[in-house]
Chains A and B, each alone.
Chain A
Amino acid sequence: MSLLTILLQVPFLPEQASSFAQEVDMFYLSLWALTIFFSVAVAVAALFFMLKYRRRRIDEIPEQVEGAMALEITWTVIPFLISLFIFGWGAKIYYQMYTEPKDAMEIYVTGKQWMWRAQHPDGIREINQLHLPLGKRIKLTMTSEDVLHSYFIPAFRTKADVVPGRYTMTWFTPTKAGTYHLFCAEYCGTQHSGMIGNVIVLEPSEYQQWLAGGPKEASPSATGQKLFASLACNTCHYDKDGGRGPSLAGVFGSQVKLENGTTVIADEGYLRESILNPGAKIVAGFQPVMPTFQGQLSEEQVLQLIAYIKSIGAQEGAVAAKPAASPAPPTAKASPAAPTTQAPAAQGGQKKD
């Protein structure tokens, strides 16, 4: 093979496998067209002037051309307008990428030196792989157990940093079945370049088959419910008012009035903070008596608790009544090594579809 044939085989664009890919590529190619236009224009002008006006006599003093205001204004205003256009186009795509989608299937992702864990809504987990149904809107809620990571799927043109201590979000709609790269894009230590995996987009029926083939696992919210009981959260947080802690039924997404008079929206970040650092924001009318769960829960367990709290919001507290009605037996309190931590996470990742 000659060098040229090898070079011609190098693609210029990655595969287009999400609903964002086409527009991002169009944008990218337009900017290259602009870059080539301006670079060639400047280079041709500079080279032409160099040839045409080369020094002919050693004592040559060229006639001075004074700056021209009209020209200066032209080459200030035109680039300004062009850059406003680029800004607008970029902002539009960014707005779509970072606005929470409605009716999306939510997958929880945690990054950890040096692997990616994911848990699907019905409980299946995997490591360094992400199986997705074609054509469905997917939202990833992500956090990190240790350092910064970044969840990057080139074929989808999406990326979001995965940050310890907070939740970040990315979403996409896969539009083409296939296997694509998953990279960690934020430097995270020794095996950073090994923190990679595959995103596998399946036809919806195949996805269902894949789900059915996996080991039976409880959904994140069901696991969260068990955790809620085993950690004895329900001894204070009843399904209705009257507990030592505020009722959590329907709290997700609502406005919460705090002791200091301000209000916050109860999103994932707020719930997480309230579990790990309960003293930070006290709900109006309650005492700061809750112990911290910092260091006792993995990020996955925190996400499962939040998933449960979200679910009792969705069902308006109907299901949550049970544990509160019959207070959990004191023995269930025992250790934070709740049954859920024994879930076969490692095998989940190696599972074949």
Chain B
Amino acid sequence: MATEVMETTSTRNYLNNGHTVKSWLLTLDHKRIGLLYLFSISIFFAIGGVYASLIRLELITPEGDLMTAETYNKVFTMHGVMMIFFFLIPSIPAVMGNFLLPIMLGAKDVAFPKLNLLSWYIFILGGSLMLITMINGGIDTGWTFYPPYSSIYSNTQVTLAGVSIFITGFSSILTGLNFMVTIHTMRAPGLTWFRLPLFVWAHYATSLIQILGTPVVAITVLALALERTFQIGIFDPKLGGDPVLFQHMFWFYSHPAVYIMILPSMGVISELIANMTRKRIFGYHFVAFSSLAIAVFGFLVWGHHMFTSSQSMYAGMVFSLITYAVAIPSAIKIFNWTATIYKGSVSYDTPMIYALAFIGLFTVGGMTGLFLAALGLDVHLHDTYFVVAHFHYVMVGGAIIGYLGGIHFWWPKMTGRMYPEVWGRISAAIIFLGFNLTFFPQFVVGYLGMPRRYHAYAPEFQVLHILSSAGASILAVGFIMPVFYFAWSVKFGKKAGNNPWMASGLEWQTSSPPPTENFTYQPVVTHEPYEFEHVEEIKNAGKLENKTA
């Protein structure tokens, strides 16, 4: 882990450059904006987590006894809405992307710093509206908002929630736009496309989806709000509309949105594995282009959410086939990461534990996606707990594990302090165990026929639900622990120095925490990423060791 700390002479950094509230709320510094996001999405994650706990508590018994059906429906809806729109979609891009992307490119900031701050304010506006929706009684449509239930029958705050999501979408579009322009125009001298860290490639692919996909969901929720308010007959069959049209429009964004959540996490995992094994990523070009392939193919598979929706059988076949095409680039990544560990110099520090957990859980998550893409099998599995288990393996086992791994890895860069390594490993292990105990039983109960979004269920499913709820309580402990030790480390953690992991990458060449302008000199890139013979700290550590020996 951390070796001899090279104390940097510069003590001025982005954190102590202004201590007033105003200096934070009006900051144009991408690093401070990243921390603003970190703080806000952590709150949304906590709210979403409370809802998750309520779901798991209700499902301990088959009867609907803890809360009414109406409340339960609101709880699972708010869990989904909070976690997807206000945590997973912004998570890695808005926190780590904001903080790291300009530094990884050797730039002083993103291309449009004011737009960057604006996107945080838009996010907060959207999030506040969702909190108001919640306080006003919430919504009970499920996060998918299918009409005609959402447009005519639901008595809850659907329009307000729709406005909130409409607004929040612009935050995502602006962030994507900002990153894409930054990557195109602000790379340091010598930083060619194939010298970019894979984290940057993943964010480029993500930005593409954010820019092209998010406007469609904005149109969709707008159409829904108009339909609900003025009954114009877009989705209502009685007025000549078509409820299935909504599903097409919704999934045209919401399937690619899954890749907005997972691609950045894949970018993080590439960084963790390369730096924790001191190896160039095996098949760098394949991993880079597989991100783009996922982003592009991801737009052509939305119909696989609709195999039983009454869409044409032949449309179903085309969507199934293309879905298998998306599976290939994901498989390529898994194989290349595993091959990267081969003959590496493997560290067992927390970020590597998370990377390993990601490989395992994402493999299961991805493979169970093959079940759901298989037409004849999906007829049985669709809308059961099998689907719930599958997307939690991808979203929690993939996206959140990658997020946590990345936070541990870059924490010393963000704060200048190390988190306590032992606690990091313990909480990673608890999360891994708790996660599997929570979600693996759901594959089984789903195949047995337990439908999603059921407040009460048949008694024979109870054993599996109890296992799942028990796992959720363990998972909760694993998620709460980092809050405490990260907070502790800000004051009491060991000083990190510039490059505690002896990692390659421009972000490790500047001080921790970095100065406001990121670098005190203009970095020039002379080699490909993940070339560890250029890392000064490794050489120095060797010299020090030889001296003491």
Q: Interface of A with B (CB < 8 Å)?
A: 6-7, 9-14, 20, 23-24, 27-28, 31, 34-35, 38-39, 42-43, 45-47, 49-50, 53-68, 71-72, 75-76, 79-80, 83-84, 86-87, 89-99, 113, 146-148, 150, 152, 154-155, 157-161, 163-166, 168, 181, 183-194, 277, 294-295
* Neighbour of B284 across the interface among A47, A67, A87, CB < 8 A: A67
Q: Are the C-beta atoms of A62 and B73 separated by less than 8 Å?
A: no
Q: Give Cα A62–Cα B343 distance, bound, in whole angstroms.
A: 7
Question: Which residues of chain A come closer than 8 Å to B464, judged between CB atoms?
Answer: 10
A75 to B377, CA, bound (A): 25
Q: Which one of B17-25, B81-89, B260-268, B453-461 is at the interface?
A: B453-461
Which of chain B's residues 445-466 have a Cβ closer than 8 Å to chain A?
447-449, 451-458, 463-464
Q: With an 8 A cutoff between CB atoms, is B492 at the interface?
A: no
From known contacts A58-B3, A190-B70, infer whether A34 and B313 are also in contact, taking CB-CB under 8 Å.
Answer: no
- Pick from A60, A86, A87, A147: contact of B345, CB under 8 Å: A60
8 new A-B contacts, CB < 8 A, other than A45-B338, A91-B320, A187-B149, are: A13-B448, A49-B344, A59-B541, A87-B324, A155-B449, A192-B73, A193-B456, A295-B238
Please determine whether A61 and B278 come into contact, CB atoms closer than 8 angstroms.
yes
Contact of A152 among B148, B449, B463 (CB under 8 A): B449
Mostly, the A contact residues are: mixed
Which listed residue (B283, B327, B364, B538) contacts A72, Cβ 8 A?
B283
Given contacts A164-B237, A193-B64, whether A90 and B373 have CB atoms under 8 Å apart is yes
Known: A62-B345, A97-B379, A181-B458. A28 touches B447 (CB 8 A): yes
Partner of A294 from the list B238, B345, B454 (CB cut-off 8 Å) is B238
Closest Cβ–Cβ distance, residue B435 to chain A (whole Å): 15
B328 to chain A, nearest CB (A): 6
Q: Which residues of A contact B382 (CB under 8 A)?
A: 150, 159, 185
Set A80, A90, A150, A184: member contacting B374, Cβ < 8 A: A90
Bound CA span A38–B360, Å: 10
B residues apposed to A, CB below 8 Å: 3, 64, 69-70, 73, 140-142, 144, 146, 148-149, 152-154, 237-238, 240, 242-244, 277-280, 282-286, 307-310, 313, 316-317, 320-321, 324, 327-328, 331-332, 334-336, 338-339, 341-348, 352, 356, 359-360, 363-364, 367-368, 370-371, 373-380, 382-384, 444, 447-449, 451-458, 463-464, 502, 532-533, 538-539, 541-542, 545
* B447/A94 in contact, CB under 8 A: no
What's the nearest-Cβ distance from chain B to residue A161, in Å?
5
B463 touches A7 (CB 8 A): yes
Contacts of B356 in A (CB 8 A): 46-47, 50
Residues of B within 8 A of A31 (CB): 367, 370-371, 374, 377
Tell me if B375 and A90 are in contact (CB < 8 A). yes
B78 to chain A minimum Cβ distance, whole angstroms, is 14
Are B243 and A165 neighbours in the complex by a CB distance under 8 Å?
yes
Kindly state the separation between the CA atoms of A146 and B26 in the bound complex, as whole angstroms.
50
B371 lies within 8 A of A146 (CB):
no
Q: A24-B380, A65-B343, A165-B237 are in contact. Are A187 and B452 (CB under 8 A)?
A: yes
Q: Would A277 and B341 count as touching, CB distance under 8 A? A: no
Q: A147–B282 contact, CB under 8 A?
A: no
Residue on A with the closest CB to B454?
A: A193
Q: List 11 A-B contacts (CB under 8 A).
A: A7-B463, A55-B278, A59-B545, A80-B324, A94-B379, A148-B243, A165-B243, A185-B382, A186-B383, A187-B142, A192-B73
Inter-chain contact A67/B282, CB cutoff 8 Å: yes
**In chain B, what residue has the closest Cβ to A83?**
B324
Chain A hits for B360, CB < 8 A? 39, 42-43, 46
Shortest Cβ distance from B537 into A: residue: A59
Q: A150 vs B347: C-alpha distance in the bound complex, in angstroms?
A: 50
Is A24 a contact of B545 with CB atoms below 8 Å? no
User: Closest B-chain residue to A78, C-beta based?
Assistant: B331
Question: Contacts A59-B539, A152-B383, A193-B64 hold; do A64 and B279 have CB atoms under 8 A apart?
Answer: yes
Contact A61 B447 (CB under 8 A): no
From B64, B238, B377, B502, contact of A93 by CB (8 A): B377
B280 contacts A277, CB within 8 Å? Answer: no
Of all chain B residues, which has the CB nearest A99? B313
Chain B residue at minimal CB-CB distance from A49: B341
Distance, CA A305 to CA B336, complexed state (A): 62
With the chains together, A50 CA to B367 CA distance in Å?
23
Decide: B342 and A83 in contact? CB cutoff 8 A. no
User: Which residue of A is nearest B360, CB measured?
Assistant: A43
Q: Is the CB of A184 within 8 A of B341?
A: no
B-chain residues with CB within 8 Å of residue A158 when the two chains form the complex: 379-380
The 7 closest A-B pairs by CB, nearest first: A165-B237, A93-B376, A154-B449, A59-B542, A90-B374, A94-B375, A193-B454
